[in-house]
Structure formats: structure tokens, C-alpha cells
Structure 1
Amino acid sequence: MSKIISGYAERFAELEKAEGVFAFLDELLLQFGADRYVISGLPLPGRSIDPLVLVLRLEEVMGTGPRTGLLDPTDPLLQRARDGKVGFAWTDKDDAGGNRPSGTAALIRGETAHAVGVVPIWHFAPWQGALVVAGERMKIDDRHLAGMDWLLRQAFRRLFALGAVRRERPGELSAQERRVVSLAAIGKTAVEIAEVLAISQRTVHAHLQNASDKLRATNKTHTVVEALRYGQISL
């Protein structure tokens, strides 16, 4: 098994075009029994998800590239994927128990599958994404979700290396905004942040305000929470 896994990693590393990476990933996902899936980046607040959709497979048809109006970034399934790091199954009970059903789950589930598997793609911060997958013969358990997580890591490592996927999404915080928010997150005051970064307090407040606006936050604490949630900073 270790030789097979090593071979997959080497194969991904050898591919020279994004189309080849997606085709090989598709081949491996089909071995899991996945015949319907979408792979997409997840946007920052108030931003469209359309340009971040990378792959859509519905039965026999697989296409790559953006999709207009396909996904709703406020979908409860996608929000859970953005906030987590572990794959999970989304079932009819999740639709019934939430504030509203997941349109993404309905799209990928089709008429035969009873559940969809969801694998967050979180290893390449600040970029965030997810695989939502289903298949009539597919097992959605911890082992299979972990296997797909490993495949996604190999695929996206190569895609980022090829420059086929941009790590920066629209609306990302600037490097200096991240530094300011990171220091605020560990309790530094504006005076202390100004001293650490050798900038004025006025500039500190300007960076915090810009970050707050980008993240649709209402105050400094909310800005820190949203920056963590959207992969802009880490603690």
C-alpha cells in the first residue's frame, strides 16, 4: 500500500499541466466510487464563489473552470467545510436539522445517493476550498474521507506549484493587515502594535479598519474572529 501511495504522489509531482492533474485526480476519485463531485475554492465574505469553482463532474460529464450561479457561498454545507479541517458526511438529517437545506448537497447527491462526502481543503492557507462528492456505490466513512483528503493535498500541491490555482483570493488581507490583526489577536494594543511594526498608531487603526471592512466585521474582536475563520491569520 505504501508503494502505491508513493507512486500516486510521484505521479502528481510529474504532471506538467493542470488538466493532467485534474484528470488524474478524477481517475482516482472514480476508484472511490465518486461519479458526482465539485471542487471549489471558498470565498471571503461578500465575494462571489463563481470564479473559484475548479471542477464539476455530474455523472459522465466532467468540466473545469468557473461556473456562474452554481454554488451559494452561504450554503450551510460550504460554511461547515470552511470552518473545519476534517471530512464529514452530509445527509438528509443535516438538511432537516439546519436553517435551510444545502443546495450544494442536492446538486451533487443526484437521485440515487443518500449522502454526500465533504472534504475541506485547508492545507494551503490562506486559500480555502472543499470537495463535495457522491456516488451510488461510494462509501462515505472516515477511512475514505481521509484517503480523499490525502489525494487533494497531492493534487493541490502540484496545482499551486504550476500556478494553475492562485493562492490569493479576491478580498484577501494585505501582508501588513495580517500582521496588525495577528498582533491584535494575541492582545496587543494599538500602541504596542505600532511599536512592534514601527508604524504610527493612526496607521494601525487604518489597517484594522481596512481588515474589518474586507471581512465585514463590526469591531476589532469580530475582525480577529473572522480573520481566523477565513484563514487570514493563525494562532
Structure 2
Amino acid sequence: MSGPSPDHSTEGFDFIQELDQLATSDEIVDAMERSFARFGFENFIVTGLPHPDQRIETLVLLKKWPLDWYRRYTHNGYDRHDPVIRLCRQTVQPFEWAEVPYDPETNPKGAAIMRGAAEFGMKQGYCLPIHGLNGFEACLSMSGPQLDLTPQTKPALHLMAIYAFERARQVLAPSPQPNPLTAREKETLRWAALGKSAADTGEILGVTERTITAHIGSACQKLSAANKTHAVARALQHRLIEI
């Protein structure tokens, strides 16, 4: 007989609460290692994507990668040919490495990169692009030998990844900000954080779904968030809402 299914939303919020108590990037890496291991991940990196005149190592916020692979990757400028990074630039949706399209014949360096990662035990992976209204900000790419990626775990991982990025950025470059949200925007995001759809929230608050969608859109604009999940993560991070 199988045991009870884990509550992934609870795991996500527990992770968020833990991050709020941490003061250094090393502590955040340790917390990510423990929490993401529950989903089968062993390695991860949080980084911005460089422009042609930048080196990716200058944009890395957090990482837990095999040292030799990191040295090989940065020394050879693999980010210029990495199929995962190419797709990360093109989408706001999380994706599995297995979903990344590339042609080994037209992108032999990309194929070599994927083989090289596999040599270091990084065969399966999951990437979460993090975009703002002004364009790309960062991505969190994770890998492990046997991943727990289901319709139930992916939303929790998405929120955890965005929050980890926000917490790392806050720790590395603190910047206090006033609460720009209206009371109704805060209430709308709070229900979104609890997993309610716009239709559900509209019914709870006695307004139309269109009204809730407008509040979410306004909150996203004020928080420079690309979508509802991103806005919830930022609102929680800066304590603009409470659960």
C-alpha cells in the first residue's frame, strides 16, 4: 500500500519561509540543495543570460555544479551554443531538457554540451526562465538522475525557483521598497498564492473574473512581474502580502 501523497504546495511554502530566515547566498544554496533534492535534483545554477560582450560567469548568482564541468563550460563559452539557454531566451514557460529542440548536425557544439553534462551525471533536467517586463532576468536550471516532474510538482518548483532567485537577488543587492499594491490587488494575489484561479477568486470576493484578471495584471505591472506566479513570488518575498 502506498503512503499518502506529499503536499507539494506545503513543501513550497515551507521552503519560502525557510529562505526568509537566511542572510547569505551560501545559506540559500544549502536550502535549495535540501529542498530540491526531494524532487530528485542534485545540481542547479541560477544565472542571467549574457549579451555577446559578457561572460556568463559574471552573471551567476547561485550554483551547485560539478566544479570541473563548470570550469569547462565557462572556459569554452558553452553558453553561446547551449540548446537549453537558447530555448530559455525564447520562452517564459518552464521546460524539461528532453523537450529542448536541437539538431546535432547543425549544432554539433550543442550536442557536445548535452553529452558533456551527461558525463557529469546531469542527464535529466528542468529549466525555469525568469523574465521581467523589460526582458530576460535569469534562469534556474536543475538536473538529477531521476526527477519527480509531474503536473503536481511543477507548479511548486516554479514558485520555489522564482522565490529563490528573488531572495538571492535581495541578499546580494538589498533594495527596500514600499508596498505599491492596492488592498484589492493584495487580496487577489493572496488568493492566487493559495492556488485559486481568477474565477475562484472572483466568486470569493463577489466580483467578475475579468475584474480579478485586471487586478492581477495591474499587480504584475507594479512588481515588474512577467506573470501571476512571478507576481506572487515577489509579493511574498517583499512581504507585500501574507498567507
Which range, TM-score by smaller chain? 0.5 to 0.7
Question: CA 1:46 to 1:145, structure 2 compared with 1: closer, same or farther past 3 Å?
Answer: farther
Name which of 42, 49, 53 aligns with 2:49.
42
> Distance between the aligned counterparts of 2:167 and 2:133, measured in 1?
12
Pair 1:93–1:44, CA change in 2 (3 A) = closer
Unmatched tracts of structure 2, length 5 or more:
1-6, 176-223, 227-243
Which AA in structure 1 matches 2:161? L
Instruction: Find the aligned partners of 2:84 and 2:174 in 1 and give their Cα distance.
Output: 23
Residue 32 of structure 2 is matched in structure 1 by 25
**Greater shift in the superposed pair: 123-132 or 113-122:** 123-132
- Distance change (3 Å), C-alpha of 1:22 and 1:105: same
Out of 2, 8, 12, the residue aligned to residue 19 of structure 2 is 12
Q: Which moved more, 1:103-112 or 1:136-145?
A: 103-112
Output aligned runs, 1:122-201, within 5 Å. 122-123=131-132, 128-164=137-173
User: Please, which moves more after superposition, 12-21 or 116-125?
Assistant: 116-125
Matched, 1:108 2:144: no
Report the CA distance shift for 1:143/1:14 in structure 2 as closer, same or farther (over 3 A).
Answer: same
Q: Which residue of 2 aligns with 1:218?
A: none
> In 2 relative to 1, CA 162–54 (structure 1 residues): closer, same or farther, beyond 3 Å?
closer
Q: What amino acid is the match of 1:87?
A: P
Where 2:157 maps in the other structure, the secondary structure is: helix
Cα deviation for residue 42 of structure 1 reads 0.8
2:127 aligns to what? 118
Residue 88 of structure 1: CA displacement?
A: 0.9
Q: CA deviation at 1:81?
A: 0.6
From the superposition, tell whether residues 45 and 86 of structure 1 become closer, same or farther in structure 2 (CA, over 3 Å). Answer: same
Query: In the alignment, is the contact (CA less than 8 A) between 1:51 and 1:67 conserved in 2?
Result: no
Give the one of 73, 78, 82 matched to 2:89: 82
Calculate percent identity across the aligned residue pairs: 16
Give the secondary-structure state (helix, strand or coil) at the position aligned to 2:55: coil
Q: CA RMSD in A?
A: 3.8
Whose Rg is larger?
1
Q: How many residues align?
A: 166
Distance 2:95 2:166 in 1: 22
Q: TM-score when scaled to structure 1?
A: 0.55
Q: Which residue of 2 aligns with 1:196?
A: none
